Amino acid sequence: MPDEPDPDVLRRFAQGDLAAFEALFRRFEGDVFRWTVRILRDEGAAEDVLVDAFWRAYRSRARFDPSRSFGAWIRRIATNAARDHLRDARTRRTWVPVVDDTLAALPAVDLHVRDAVARAFRTLSPKLRIVATLALVDDRPHAEIADALGVPVSTIKSRVFRAVRVLRRELARLGVQR
Amino acid sequence: MTDEDLRLLLRSVQPPIDDRTPTRDLWPRVMERIDGGPTVSAVDVGMAALVAIVLAAYPKLLWLLAYHL
């Protein structure tokens, strides 16, 4: 995560200064984008969520406390926006890639296994899916995930446990054994 | 399948994300969104329409709605 900006920039942002907001956007867009790509595995969707997250941040600027970390705040907003994206996609039953071709999955992996993992992931609720992706695939620390979701670390551990149980059951049902 | 087997399997299918950057400048889209004002989702519109239809059919439910608001 980038270093925290000048307190004066944060104060001006909270007061609605667009130049300060743009400075914050330029500083944090890369971190927010990488974080949302990690969750969604889809660069196009991550761009949409990034725009949504910064729009939400600007709309909520009056509630931002300039003495707190902007990086942590915007990452939490982005995580919520990504979760909403996954929920909307699930409600509309639209395809959300679990294995994004642009992310270059390893070619040696059997097509059946790729498909089974994608199917198993789709059975997870958005909140379990986010935790499973960040903790199991990207190996992010539980404390970092907890901070981004605004929940205790114990909740993350519990969600990882539940996600593993669901994934293992689904993969076994789909005939993937290792 | 052990937890470690599962992790390895997931990572073999979905490699961890390294450095990624947006493919274009997204600041103009953020500004467009801000200038466009708040958006209303299709779910919100649907709920509002449903409430309006129910109230039109059963006006006395307005008191129930007012109580819950």
Hey, what domains does chain A have and what are their CATH numbers?
1-96 (1.10.1740.10), 105-178 (1.10.10.10)
Q: Which residues on chain B are in Cβ contact (under 8 Å) with A33? A: 20-22
Q: Residue A87 and residue A33: Cα distance in Å, rounded?
A: 19
Residue at B62 is within a domain: yes
In this prediction, residue A103 carries a pLDDT of 44
Give, rounded to a whole angstrom, the gap between the first and last alpha carbons of chain B.
51
The residue range of the domain holding B68 is 41-69
Greater pLDDT, A113 or A130: A130
pTM of the predicted protein model: 0.76
Residue at B30 is within a domain: no
pLDDT in tens, B2-47: 888 888 888 888 777 777 888 899 999 999 999 886 566 677 788 8
Q: Residue A115 and residue A130: Cα distance in Å, rounded?
A: 19
Whether B20 and A47 lie within 8 Å, measured CB to CB: no
Q: Residue A121 and residue B25: Cα distance in Å, rounded?
A: 31
Q: Residue B41 and residue B66: Cα distance in Å, rounded?
A: 23
- Which B residues in the span 10-49 are in contact with A, Cβ-Cβ below 8 Å? 10-17, 19-24, 26-27, 29-30, 33-34, 38, 43
Instruction: Establish if A111 touches chain B: CB-CB under 8 angstroms.
Output: no
Residue at B19 is within a domain: no
